[in-house]
Amino acid sequence: MYELIVMGIALGIFVVLLRLKIKIGLSMILAACVLELLLGVSPFRLWGEFVQEWRDKPLSQTTGYLFVTLAAMLTFVNILGLAMKETGVSGKLTEALLVLFKSRRGAMVGIPMLMGLLPTPGGIMLSAPMVRDLADSIGVTRSRSAAINFFFRHQWEMVWPLFPSIPLIQGMLGISAIALIRHNIVISLCGITGGILFLLLWGIPPKKGQRDKAKWLHSLHVFIQAFWPIGLVAGLHAALNVNPAIGILISMALFMLVYRIPFGRCGHLCRQGFEIDLILLILGALLFKLNLQAAGSIAAVVQFFADIHMPGMILLFVLPMLVAALTGLTMPTVAITFPLLMPYIGTGAGADIGLQTLAFSGLLCGLYLTPVHLCLSLSASYFEAPLGRIILLLLGPIACIAVGGILAAKVL
């Protein structure tokens, strides 16, 4: 119980600091320090956990690796966005997207969903520049455009096999991918429906006059000019397993070469694209997670729910939701909670996959509401929008996901 209270205090302090207009990166660092203090995690213990990660986990799952690659990727994305503005490519993109999608709403949704097929930490930044420029051009508030980009990017997570949580659940429960996707698509469809109802039907200003009808092929050419750097990152990652940070660096360098940006301007763009608060945000979120690991707090929370004998249906939803809210990560939440939920769900031919879907919907609800989730915090920072306002806009779509999980458990 103590661990739950401490986590609540740390997250509460984070929210208060944001309300006091303290930058989000510094706020996250301070919240992580408060958590470390209240959990009694000494610097030596924290260092020990850091070293143990390097010994026991794959390199790609260690805190140090995540920090370096995420910080590099986000910085390179910033620089690429500035280079696109420098060359005028991003300025032409808005009209091209509107022609290609034939709908302002369709364009705002299509971009993050397309980018969401690439499962990479912090990958929300791949679509953020395009969505922000498009939303600004049609008068959508930054809070709503941040919510749209964040929410629709994550609508593949429950069904797309490239997300590692899908094969992990398959292996744990001994079920087929088709069966898992057939059930989980319910919460995906409910989420998309909720996103349309609460994020797209409201808050999109009416069209201001008739737009010129640009030729479709010309618009496609403009779109390719802006999209190929991101497409290259996705292609390198899917085909050659190249880390997205390296991929975006390659794309950024090629873009500057293709458009012959002078060397002096390249240096200026690099300096301008480096934002220390984004680096602090990543560091703070990873320290928050590392402190929880070092103190054994997540295991203590799981044990607490077991000790109070929470009813099975409630536990199936609440436990993944809480752990996801505390870690901000999908795969660790699955690894921590699903072994404890397997007696309720069952395995193999006897598995009630609808109950798995209920548990996954709880995980998503927690993931979409927590500032520990890097994508949400990065959205608030990049779109320069209040975090609380973004979360408020997400409540309706998140409720639809919860309803989808309940329907799957009761009907399927």
Hey, where are the domains in the chain?
2-205+214-411
412 residues of the chain, pLDDT tens digit each: 787 788 778 878 877 887 787 887 888 889 889 988 998 888 888 888 888 888 887 776 678 887 887 788 778 877 887 888 788 776 676 677 777 777 788 888 888 887 777 666 566 777 888 888 888 888 899 999 999 999 999 998 888 766 767 777 887 788 887 888 899 999 999 999 999 999 998 888 876 555 555 577 877 887 787 778 877 876 786 677 777 778 888 988 998 998 888 888 888 888 888 888 878 877 887 787 788 778 887 778 777 777 887 787 888 999 889 888 877 778 777 867 776 788 788 888 888 899 999 999 999 999 999 887 888 888 888 898 998 899 999 999 999 999 999 999 988 6
Spatial CA neighbour of 402 closest among 149, 201, 194 = 194
pTM for the predicted model, two decimal places: 0.70
User: CA 372 to CA 374: how far, in whole Å?
Assistant: 6
SS3 222: helix
User: What integer pLDDT is reported at residue 362 of this predicted model?
Assistant: 95
Q: Could you please report the per-residue DSSP string of 113-128?
A: HHHTTS--TTTHHHHH
The SS3 of residue 332 is helix
**DSSP string of 16-54?**
HHHHTT--HHHHHHHHHHHHHHHHT--HHHHHHHHHHHH
- Can you give the pLDDT at residue 10? 83
Per residue in 95-120, pLDDT (tens digit) is 777 777 777 888 888 888 877 776 66
Gap between the Cα atoms of 26 and 13, Å rounded = 12
- Measured at the CA of 290, the angle between CA 289 and CA 295, to 5 degrees, comes to 105
Instruction: State which H helix or E strand residue 397 sits in.
Output: helix 387-411
Each residue of 180-218: pLDDT tens digit? Answer: 889 999 999 999 999 999 999 888 887 655 555 557 787
Neighbours of 63 (CB within 10 A): 19
CA separation for the pair 30, 23 (Å, rounded): 11
The answer to whether the Cα torsion of 391, 396, 401, 407 is positive or negative is: positive
For residues 76 and 248, is the Cβ–Cβ distance under 8 A? Answer: yes
Q: Which residue has the tokens 């993109």?
A: 93
Residues in the chain: 412
The pLDDT of residue 213 is: 52
pLDDT of residue 402: 96
**Rg of the chain's alpha carbons, rounded to an integer?**
21
Report which of 301, 373, 285, 294 is spatially closest to residue 331, judged by C-alpha positions: 373
Residues 6+ apart with CB under 8 A from 273: 75, 76, 78, 79, 81, 82
**The pLDDT value given to residue 216:** 76
Q: Which residues, including other chains, have CB under 8 Å from residue 385's CB and lie 6 or more apart?
A: 141, 142, 143, 145, 146, 379
Burial class from Cβ neighbours inside 10 Å (0-12, 13-18, 19+) for residue 206 reads exposed
Could you give the residue ranges of the DSSP H alpha helices within 158-215? 165-173, 177-195
Q: Which two tokens stand for residue 64?
A: 């140090």
Please tell me the predicted confidence (pLDDT) of residue 354: 92
Residue with tokens 């984070």: 14
**142-153 and 374-382 are packed helices; what angle lies between their axes, rounded to 10 degrees?**
150
In our burial notation (b when 16+ CB lie closer than 10 A, e otherwise), range 215-229 reads eeeebeebbebbbeb
